[in-house]
Structure 1
């Protein structure tokens, strides 16, 4: 599904800042489900109604989300699954493999560095950093944990724009600032703290505790 490419970025889709972040956030969900459909024997087309049933999202919402990027289907025939996968991959810039820097080699960092799902979906963790002398030099698969003190030097000239932050909360902001200085433009933050970054740098937070706290709101008292 993902094809490594040396295509010049000027040929890639431009970013439309008028499109709400929540819409962009649903596109990978659509892409994931379409990829599952593609693996189903003999299945080549789908509809917004079928996607809606599978995802628990209204068909009108799916059509509205996709309409931000053009026309992808025909009335009465639905969507060609392979074509829609290709177009969503282009929109999300997944027609190339993205190198990713990981900062933090604790339990979470080990799990992230070992997770094979990243590469299947267009991302490759290519370097891991930590500040703990006991972890520096340790092997995680084919990767060797590097000293975070060398972060800027190690990332310089590598063309890496994405980083995953899996460090304690008290180290997250300083580390994020160093990543930005090293050329990182997108950070997936697992630290339980909000980050302040300059304009043009995108941060996405992943905090399981916050997500659990959101879910408990919907649990009815006994």
Structure 2
């Protein structure tokens, strides 16, 4: 019996990709937007992975992204001061573009109406991630936010899933976890003893041997968990 449902944040409840794309295109309006958005996404993923692995601080991974991008745009080699000045303009643009996916609120409300406890497990900086939850209007719905920067571990490590279950007062076996990354989220949750659900918004055909439920919209989640 599922007593609690935990969610990934970026890509699951909050449309991070659209927010990042909007902010970076506004920052470099003369660059090819398709290349810019894709390359910024790649740089972000590489830098964040190094941050989660403990190789870079939060500020250092942010600087690395823009210093690399500036060099590739032919803008020269930026020092930390110039990178920080650019970030001081970019980050408010990114925050202003934070929006929930249209299917998020309804799914949360449907699950809460059943009396299920709800929360978030997110890889990232706790202050920023809680600000996202607040900004998109879900703070009351999601009172528990467990972030890797505070938990001391990051998904897919089982420890962060178990930390979140303890915060909600449930056994891992009584909790479900929903996220948009198959290995990091769904399979990671299963390895920690939770029910893992993969949210695949891509529209691509389902791959074989998933071993976890797959949904293409959060609208389907209440029905999936009722099975």
Scaled to the shorter chain, the TM-score interval is 0.3 to 0.5
Name the larger-Rg structure.
1
Determine which structure has greater relative contact order: mean sequence separation of CA pairs < 8 Å that are 6+ residues apart, divided by chain length. 2
Structure with greater proportional strand content = 1
Structure with greater proportional helix content = 2
**TM-score normalised by length of structure 1:** 0.36
